[in-house]
Chains A and B, each alone.
Chain A
Amino acid sequence: MQIYLPIAEMSVSLFFLIGMGGAVGFLSGLFGVGGGFLLTPLLIFTGIPAPVAVASVTGTVVAASTSGALSYYRHKGIDFHLAFYLVLSGVVGSFLGVSTFSALRGAGQLDLVISLGYLIFLGSIGGLLVWEAVGSLIRTSKGKARPLKIPGKHNWVHGLPLRIRFKRSNLYVSVLPVLLIGLIIGFLGSLLGIGGGFILVPALVYLLRVPGNVVIGTSLLQVLAIMAATTILHSINSQTVDIVLAFSLMIGGVIGAQFGASIGQKLRGEQNRALLGIIVLLVALRFAYSLLVTPTDPFSIATFALGSL
């Protein structure tokens, strides 16, 4: 069954969209990531114009994060106090990201920055996740007791001033790194058309030492808020949010996210992170391929309103 997308001005198979939303939603619930980093490239590959894909995926990520966050909320897996500070600076980062997005699009270098951004961030985060998780799994299999917290409860981050106590996370840390992380995620998220959960989760775990039982829920809440702000900013700035496309993806996404979240609760932290790391690395490799291998068609067209050039 074909459905016409009014903003993209083309028709696509409805079942294909729902299926794709479902598969990505499953991963999003499983790992506590928005799923944007998978969905945006998939849509562009389908032939949907990149600006429409990026802007509509932000809306879809809101829905997937909402159902995921609700599931974690019921399991008491959200630190609202911590999320508040992350969102505060995240919205500022989102403003900066959307304006950078427009500037790069005008200069014709948006594709390059997206590809490089995906390669650098997904490559390093994915590598880090796999490395750490594999090491941890090896230690566990050798029979050594798994520490309740990641070794080295305190690092240099915990020496900074303006400390705040986050009860739910059992943390007493400076607000500065929290705000900085929020800002960076907001900026990268809106610039690269992703939620940023796959960067946020490791940052919270490795830099702030947020415990595993609240990190995903808190991350989902932050992604939800930032993506909601980005959806509105894209609607105003570029008018490329296709509500029909976003809604079709959402339907699959929320269903997939439920299954993902319930399985995610059963997986051990290391297994969870190793799987996420592998998927993130695969996407990074796909972008490395597009940057390094001679393209089949070096030419492309960008369309603008009459009289704007």
Chain B
Amino acid sequence: MKNIKAALILLYLALLTYPAMAQRLVSRLSEQEISINSTFVGGTLTLFGNVEPDIGSISYSAGPFEVIIMIQGGASDKIVREKSRQFGVWLNASNVNYSGVPSFFYLLSTRSLDNIIDEEKLAELGINFEEQIQTTSEQTSDLKENYTNQLIRLMKESGTYGINTRAVSFHSPTFYSAKINLPSNVPNGTYLATTFLFENGELIDRMAQRFFVRTVGVEKFISNTARDFPLAYGLASVFLALFTGWLGGVAFRR
């Protein structure tokens, strides 16, 4: 009896000293796959989740919680080029190479990021644009910083990078949802949506989900054929063109 009582007291003490881990995040996506068909003009993805007390925890807090959701698309290599006037004409004169740049990067949050957590911690977690973009070029850091900012600006202008600090809203103290509109030029590939849960400026949990952006139907068939059977694809394109031209000639025969 004495031993059991001591064990219970120890367990109680252990739980008391571990209150920060008493919350956990459960997040979900509305779609596992965004299908691109012939009339695709963009898609909507809803992300939602709940903050739940951990199993066995005795005390838990009811927030307020803050959420940041980071959505990353598949990586590719990029070159940023700058034009300057040489020999009287404007031409691409200098460049910086980047390797493994996300083709898509979006941040959604409950409020502005610096109100949730300080910048250094954000950078540590990789939750900013600059952390995503690593250069392989050997140039001065001032130049690289400028080009990195230009890369981010151009990607934002194309709609594939962005930030929305009002996208996530809490419907109850623990239940949140967020919506993201994917533009029509959203790149194909595997995406990772990572949800970070914060309380009082501290990260208390995170959860990641994968989803896919894929062409389907005829569009999938076309892009697969172009990649896997380029000669047949080229011949088919030429025959289609010859046939269309011939048909036009016959239909409009005078």
Binding site for B on A (CB under 8 A): 1-4, 6-7, 9-11, 59-60, 62-68, 70-71, 74, 108-109, 111-112, 116, 228, 231-236, 239, 241, 243-244, 246-247, 250-251, 254-255, 257-258, 262, 290-295, 297-309
Q: 5 new A-B pairs (CB below 8 Å) besides A9-B185, A255-B248, A258-B248? A: A2-B41, A63-B242, A228-B242, A250-B245, A309-B98
* Neighbouring A residues of B81 by C-beta, 8 Å: 108, 299-302
The CB with the most chain A CB atoms within 10 A, among B77, B184, B249, is that of B249
CA distance A42 to B39 in the complex (A): 23
Residues of A within 8 A of B78 (CB): 301-304
Which residue of chain B has the shortest Cβ distance to A244 in the bound complex?
A: B222
9 A-B pairs with the lowest CB-CB distances in the bound complex, closest first: A66-B245, A254-B248, A235-B234, A70-B249, A232-B234, A62-B241, A258-B252, A63-B241, A63-B245
Also in contact, A255 and B252, with CB within 8 A (given A4-B37, A59-B237, A301-B154): yes
Closest to B183 in A: A10
Specify which of B82, B231, B250 is in contact with A232 (CB 8 Å cutoff): B231
| Contact, CB under 8 Å: B240 / A235 | no
User: B254 and A262: CB pair below 8 A?
Assistant: yes
**Minimum C-beta distance from B192 to chain A (A):** 15
* Chain A hits for B82, CB < 8 A: 298-299
20 contacts between A and B (CB under 8 A): A4-B36, A4-B37, A7-B223, A9-B185, A59-B237, A59-B240, A62-B238, A63-B240, A67-B246, A67-B249, A68-B245, A108-B92, A228-B241, A235-B226, A244-B219, A246-B237, A291-B89, A292-B90, A301-B80, A305-B77
**Residues in A neighbouring B127, C-beta threshold 8 A:** none
| 164-222 of chain B: CB within 8 A of chain A | 184-185, 187-188, 215, 219-220, 222
Q: Do B245 and A254 have beta carbons less than 8 Å apart?
A: yes
Asked whether, in the complex, the Cβ of A66 is within 8 Å of the Cβ of B241, the reply is yes
Are B90 and A257 within 8 A (Cβ)? Answer: no
B92 touches A308 (CB 8 A): no
B134-152 Cβ-contact flags toward A at 8 Å (1 or 0): 0010000000000100110
Contact with A along B107-128 (1 / 0, CB 8 A): 0000000000000000000000
Say which residue of B40, B80, B85 sits within 8 Å of A11 (CB atoms).
B40
Q: Does B100 contact A (CB under 8 A)?
A: yes
Asked whether, in the complex, the Cβ of B244 is within 8 Å of the Cβ of A10, the reply is no
In the bound complex, residues from chain A placing their C-beta under 8 Å from that of B252 are 67, 255, 258
Residues of B within 8 A of A10 (CB): 184-185
Nearest B residue (CB) for A292: B89
Are B248 and A67 neighbours in the complex by a CB distance under 8 Å?
yes
By a CB distance below 8 angstroms, the chain A residues around B92 are: 108-109, 111-112, 300
Chain B, interface SS category: mixed
In the bound complex, CA of A302 to CA of B82 (Å): 11
A3→B39 CA distance, assembly (Å): 5
Q: A231 near B154 (CB under 8 angstroms)?
A: no
Q: Given A112-B92, A301-B155, A254–B237 Cβ distance below 8 Å?
A: no
Which residues of B are found within 8 Å of A254, using beta-carbon distances?
244-245, 247-249
Interface SS of chain A: helix, strand, loop or mixed? helix
Residue of A nearest to B221 (CB): A6
Q: Which residues of A contact B16 (CB under 8 A)?
A: none
| Size range of the chain B interface in the assembly | 35 or more
Quote the shortest CB–CB distance from A71 to chain B (angstroms). 6
Contact surface of B with A, Cβ cutoff 8 Å: 36-41, 74-85, 88-92, 95, 97-100, 103, 136, 147, 150-151, 153-155, 184-185, 187-188, 215, 219-220, 222-223, 226-227, 230-231, 233-238, 240-242, 244-250, 252-254
CB distance from A286 to the nearest CB of B (A): 14
Complex CA gap A4/B35 in Å reads 12
Which residues of A sit under 8 angstroms from B77, Cβ to Cβ?
Answer: 303-309
How far, in angstroms, from A257 to B252 measured CA to CA in the complex? 10
Q: Which residue of A lies closest to B231 (CB)?
A: A236
Instruction: For residue B120, give the distance in angstroms from its CB to the closest CB of chain A.
Output: 29
Contact B234 A67 (CB under 8 A): no
**Are B84 and A298 within 8 A (Cβ)?**
yes
* Residues of B contacting A109 in the complex (Cβ-Cβ under 8 angstroms): 91-92
**How many Å from the CB of B103 to the closest CB on chain A?**
8
Chain A residues with CB below 8 A from B99, complex form:
306-307, 309
Tell me the minimal C-beta distance from A16 to chain B in angstroms: 14
Q: Give complex CA distance A65, B8 in Å.
A: 89
Task: Report whether A234 and B240 are in contact in the complex, using a CB–CB cutoff of 8 Å.
Answer: no
- Closest Cβ of chain B: how far from A31's Cβ, in Å? 17
The smallest beta-carbon distance between B131 and chain A, in angstroms, is: 18
Residue in B74, B188, B219, B250 whose Cβ sees the most chain A Cβ within 10 Å:
B219
CB distance from B236 to the nearest CB of A (A): 7
Given contacts A254-B247, A292-B89, contact A59 B241 (CB under 8 A): yes
